Amino acid sequence: MLDKIKALREEINAAIASDMEAVEQLRIKYLSKKGLVSALMADFRSVPADQKREVGQKINELKTFATEKINSLRDAFLLKEDDSCDELDLTRTASPEQLGTRHPLSVVRNEILRIFAGMGFTIAEGPEIEDDWHVFESLNFPPDHPARDMQDTFFISRDPSDVLLRTHTSSVQTRVMERTQPPIRIVCPGRVYRNEAISARAHCFFHQVEGLYIDRNVSFVDLKQVLLGFATRMFGPDTKIRLRPSYFPFTEPSAEMDISCDICGGKGCALCKGTGWVEILGCGMVDPNVLEACGIDPDVYTGYAFGMGVERIANLKYKVKDLRLFSENDIRFLREFESAH
- How far apart CA 16 and CA 7 sit, in angstroms, is 16
126 binds ligand DAH (CB under 6 A): no
Q: What does the DSSP 8-state code read for residue 163?
A: E
116 binds ligand DAH (CB under 6 A): no
Cβ–Cβ under 8 Å, residues 318 and 271: no
Cβ–Cβ under 8 Å, residues 109 and 207: yes
Q: What does the DSSP 8-state code read for residue 98?
A: P
Amino acid at the residue 22: A
Residues 235-254 that bind ligand DAH (CB under 6 A): 248, 251
168 binds ligand DAH (CB under 6 A): yes
258 binds ligand DAH (CB under 6 A): no
Q: What does the DSSP 8-state code read for residue 168?
A: S
Q: Which distant-in-sequence residues (6+ apart) come within 8 Å of 184 by Cβ?
A: 176, 177, 212, 213, 214, 215, 303
Site stretch for ligand DAH (CB under 6 A), options 55-63, 111-119, 177-185, 279-287: 279-287
- b/e burial code for range 192-230 (CB count within 10 A of at least 16 → b): bbbeeeeeeeebeebbbbbbbbbeeebeeebbbebbbeb
305 binds ligand DAH (CB under 6 A): yes
Q: Binding ligand DAH by CB under 6 A: which of 182, 189, 190, 284?
A: 284
Site stretch for ligand DAH (CB under 6 A), options 19-27, 44-52, 57-65, 301-309: 301-309
Residues 184-223 that bind ligand DAH (CB under 6 A): 210
Least Å from the CB of residue 128 to ligand DAH: 14
| For ligand DAH, the closer CB: 8 or 313 | 313
First vs last C-alpha separation in the chain: 70
Least Å from the CB of residue 307 to ligand DAH: 2
| For ligand DAH, the closer CB: 242 or 335 | 242
303 binds ligand DAH (CB under 6 A): no
Residues that bind ligand DAH (CB under 6 A): 168, 170, 210, 248, 251, 282-284, 305-307
